[in-house]
Amino acid sequence: MLMVNQLTEEQRLTKAVVSIMGNPKYTALSGVLMIGERGVTDDPSIPTACTDGRDEFYGREFVSKLNDAELRFLVLHEVYHKLFRHLTTWKHLYLQDAHLANVACDYVINLKIVDDNYEDGFATMTGELEKGCYDRQYVGLDTAQVYNLLRKDQPQGGGRSGGVGNPEDGDGTPESGSGSLPNGQEPFDAHDWDGAQEMTADEQRDLAREIDEAVRQGALVAGKMGSGGDRDLEALLEPQVDWREVLREFVQTTCTGSDYSTYRRPNRRYLSSGMYMPSGISEQVGELVVAIDTSGSIGQRELSAFLSEVKEICDTVHPDGVRLMYWDTCICRDEKYDVHELDGLVQSTKPEGGGGTDVTCVTDYIRDNNINAQAAIVLTDGHLYGGWGQWTMPVLWTITDNPNAKPDVGKAVNIKSRDM
């Protein structure tokens, strides 16, 4: 039997991958493990490990210091970055603060791997990995929630606006400048954010589809779906409804009174007889509020597709007008379009977000400005401060790339941005 030190680092890496694929609890990841390139490198710019969301590279010297369980942990760590699309989904966090974005991603992943392997020790965060990012206070939180908590604890200034993480470095390593984490914790790998952004939009969508299909096939082989399997994987593979149909049904329903009958605009036909009845389909309705989260990861292409769909629906329903509001922790811009100006709606461009996401600024703005809206549509990634707000009208949440977001008010539809 060969001893560990008789194997080359390349052989040990291959052994770790094969071992993971052979473990029943990771069968669903088998296909993802086959996506992209993977190798050992002597590149001094990769002293530990690095991924751009597709390819993985491991520093030779670092691999040599890890035992088998630790190396399996490191491989799983890089694969989960790929599976969860961290380097594309959280680009907006990286642009704000590269280092804290890396740290937040690592907290989420490391907690998952530790919990999955607590009983059998198949993959362990020990030895050279021990000082990685791990804190039980973040259990159950997603990357954006962890990031927001970390950012609140940092001194003023950071990222592009003050020195925590230099985007030009691309790897968000501690040397790029950041407040220290508890107990000297730091990411034990590098995240090639810039490399991830070099992929074209088509390449990113193709990669996302390849990962989805790999997980789907792996889950079917493992027999995990619907039988107590990995909830993170199940969330990724939830059946997707057509968001356009949900959007159209919501607007038509709320704006014709067939479900949410409104007494704000009475049917004039019955007024003379003293009857105060809601308007029917032929009656024009109030304004439609469309609130766009500027701090989210959605880009201009997705925004244009979304607004085009809203415009087509409005051409049929004929609201009094559309109020297009861009927001993060306050209203960044409020654009008004009457029924004859909806072509301009599609040309609207998203302003730069200022960080933070608090949807209560939208409901406060509507109230304070006496906006008589018939209904509201909110486009967001669902990572919110302060809850889902107090709405006095029907609201539809269109939530991008966050199947775990569950609004406690209104209706919701989850969208994969690559499908927009």
For the chain, domain boundaries: 4-236, 243-419
Q: Strands 395-400 and 373-380, how do they pair?
A: parallel
**pLDDT band, residue 130 (cuts 50/70/90):** very high
Q: In whole angstroms, how far apart are CA 271 and each of 258, 268, 275, 285?
A: 20, 5, 5, 17
Residue 65's closest CA among 115, 108, 126?
126
CATH number, span 243-419: 3.40.50.410
Question: Which DSSP symbol is given to 420?
Answer: -
CB 414 within 8 A of CB 403: yes
Tokens representing 16 are 């770790």
> From the CB of residue 44, how many other CB atoms can be counted at a distance below 10 Å?
8
The tens digit of pLDDT for each residue in 333-358 reads: 999 988 778 877 878 887 776 567 88
The tens digit of pLDDT for each residue in 57-99 reads: 999 999 999 999 999 999 999 999 998 888 877 777 787 788 8
**pLDDT band, residue 231 (cuts 50/70/90):** low
**Would the CA dihedral through 93, 99, 105, 111 be positive or negative?**
negative
Instruction: Report the alpha-carbon distance of residue 373 to residue 247 in Å, rounded.
Output: 17
The pLDDT of residue 263 is 37
CB 395 within 8 A of CB 409: yes
The pLDDT of residue 385 is 76
Tokens representing 415 are 């969208």
The pLDDT of residue 234 is 56
According to DSSP, the residues that pair with 164 across neighbouring strands are none
Give Rg (Cα) of the chain: 24
The pLDDT of residue 241 is 61
- Length of the chain, please? 420
Instruction: Report the alpha-carbon distance of residue 158 to residue 166 in Å, rounded.
Output: 9
Q: Among the residues of 198-299, which ranges form H helices?
A: 201-222, 231-236, 243-256
Q: For the full predicted model, state whether its pTM sits above 0.75.
A: no
Q: Which residues have CB under 8 Å from 262's CB, separation 6+? A: 278, 279, 285, 286, 374
Q: Tokens 């691309």 label which residue? A: 170
Residue type, 238: E
Instruction: Report the alpha-carbon distance of residue 269 to residue 86 in Å, rounded.
Output: 56
The tens digit of pLDDT for each residue in 265-307 reads: 444 444 444 444 444 433 445 789 999 988 766 677 778 878 8
Instruction: Report the alpha-carbon distance of residue 175 to residue 173 in Å, rounded.
Output: 5
**Would the CA dihedral through 287, 291, 292, 294 be positive or negative?**
positive
Give Cα 295 distance to the centre of its chain.
11
Q: Per-residue DSSP letters for 118-142?
A: TTT-SS---GGGTTSS--GGGTT--
Instruction: Report the alpha-carbon distance of residue 232 to residue 204 in Å, rounded.
Output: 21
**pLDDT band, residue 24 (cuts 50/70/90):** confident
Question: Which DSSP symbol is given to 327?
Answer: E
Question: Which DSSP symbol is given to 50?
Answer: E
Tokens representing 419 are 């499908």
- Give the mean model confidence (pLDDT) for residues 230-258: 66
- Considering 76-80, 202-206, 266-270, 313-317, the range whose residues carry the highest mean pLDDT is 76-80
According to DSSP, the residues that pair with 289 across neighbouring strands are 323, 376
Question: Which DSSP symbol is given to 192?
Answer: -
Beta strands in 263-394 (DSSP E): 287-293, 321-327, 331-338, 373-380
